[in-house]
Amino acid sequence: MHDAITAPAQAVDFPTVAREPAWRVVARTAFPFLVVGALWELVAHLGIFPPRLFPSLEQIASAFVRLTAEGILPHHALDTVIRLLTGFALAAVAGVAIGIAMGRSRLAEDVLVPLVSIGAPIPGIAYAPLFLLWFGLGNLSAVLLVAFVSAFPIIFNTWTGVKAVKEIWVRSAQAMGADDRRLFRRVILPGALPYILTGLRLGLAQAWRILVGVEMLAAVPWGLGWLIFGAREFLNTDVILAGVAVIGIIGLALEKLVFQRIEEFTVVRWGMMT
C-alpha cells in the first residue's frame, strides 16, 4: 500500500502487482544476463572447449571495440542497414500499390490473387540461388530478394485493409460529395492504415530475417552477414559473436524505434486503434 501511495500513476497500470522501485526492475532484468554471462565465462575459462571456438566475453568485447574503433563494424552495419532499407522501400512502394489495386479493382484482384498466392508459400531464401543466377553475385541480387520477400506480407495486408474499410464510410463520404481523390486520401487510406502498418511491420521483420542469410550467400563486399560468414573461415569466433550481437541490436532497434513510433504517430492519433 505504501508503494501505491508514492507512485499512484503507475499503480493504475498494474493494478494487481505492487509497484516496484526502478532499481529493482533493472536488477531483475539484468539478473538472468549476469547468470548466463557468468556461466559462459566459467565454461570459457575452464577450457572445456578450445578457446578459439569458445571465446571469453572479454575477447568478444575487445573484438567489438577493436572493430568499432577501426570503423570496420560500423561500415558493415551501415551497408546492411542501407540494403535492408532500399529493398524494403521498393517492397513498400510496390506492395502498397499492388495491394490497393487489388482491394479497389475487381479485375486486379482476380488477376493478381492467384499469382501472389502461388509465390507466397515458398520461403524467400529458397529464391536466393535463382536471383544470384539471374542478377549475379552482389548488391543487386540481395536488394531485389529482400524487396521480393518483404512485398508479400505488405500486399496481403494492404489488400485486406482496403477491403476492410467500412462500406458506410465510403458511402457517406460520397454522399457528402467527396471526389475519388479525396475519397482515397481521406477515407480509404486512413481506414486501411492499421492493416498497411501491420503489413509493413511484418515485411520489415521478414526482410531482416532473410537479409543476413542472403548476405552470406551473395558474397556482398560489406555487410554483417558476410562479416560473420567470412570470419568463420579464419576461426574468428570473437568476431562472429560480436557481429551477432550487433545484428541483435539492430533487430531490436528496428522493432522498438521504427514501428512503435510510426504506430503512435498515425494510427493511435487518428483514433483507429487505442
Partner 1 sequence: MSTAERSRSIWRAALALAATAAVYEAVARSGVFPPALLPTLPAVARALVSTIADGTMLAHAFHTLARVLLGFAMAIVVALPLGIMMARFRPVENFVLPLASALMPIPSLAWVPMFILWFGLGDITSILVVFYAATFPLLLNTWSGVRAVNPLWLRAAGAMGADEQALFWKVIIPGASPFIITGLRQAFLRSWIAVVGAEMLAASNWGLGWVIFDAKEFLNADVMLASLVVIGAIGFVFERLVFGSLEQVTVLRWGMVRAAKG
What part of residues 128-167 is at the interface with partner 1 (CB under 8 A)? 128-130, 132-134
Q: Which of 129, 158, 146, 136 is nearest to 217 (CA)?
A: 129
Query: How many whole angstroms separate alpha carbon 60 and alpha carbon 240?
Result: 9
CB of 150 to partner 1, least distance (A): 13
DSSP, residue by residue, 122-160 = S-GGGGHHHHHHHH-SSHHHHHHHHHHHHHHHHHHHHHH
- Region for 49 from its dihedrals, namely left if φ exceeds 0, alpha if ψ lies in -120 to 50, beta otherwise: beta
195 binds partner 1 (CB under 8 A): no
CB of 126 to partner 1, least distance (A): 5
31 binds partner 1 (CB under 8 A): yes
Query: How many whole angstroms separate alpha carbon 110 and alpha carbon 179?
Result: 26
Is residue 121 classed as helix, strand or coil in its secondary structure? Answer: coil
Query: How many whole angstroms separate alpha carbon 117 and alpha carbon 102?
Result: 13
What part of residues 209-268 is at the interface with partner 1 (CB under 8 A)? 209-213, 216-217, 224-225, 228-229, 231-232, 235, 237, 240-241, 243-244, 247-248, 250-252, 254-255
Query: How many whole angstroms separate alpha carbon 225 and alpha carbon 243?
Result: 8
Cβ distance to partner 1 smaller for residue 196 or 208: 208
What part of residues 100-119 is at the interface with partner 1 (CB under 8 A)? 106-107, 109-115, 118
CB of 176 to partner 1, least distance (A): 28
Cβ distance to partner 1 smaller for residue 8 or 51: 51
Q: Which sign does the torsion angle of CA 217, 59, 242, 138 carry? A: negative
Residue in 53, 168, 175, 176 binding partner 1, rule: CB under 8 A: 53
236: number of Cβ within 10 Å: 18
Residue in 124, 153, 161, 191 binding partner 1, rule: CB under 8 A: 124
CB of 184 to partner 1, least distance (A): 24
48 binds partner 1 (CB under 8 A): no
Query: How many whole angstroms separate alpha carbon 210 and alpha carbon 123?
Result: 9
Cβ distance to partner 1 smaller for residue 3 or 109: 109
Give the binding site for partner 1 (CB under 8 A).
28-33, 35-36, 53, 106-107, 109-115, 118, 121-130, 132-134, 208-213, 216-217, 224-225, 228-229, 231-232, 235, 237, 240-241, 243-244, 247-248, 250-252, 254-255
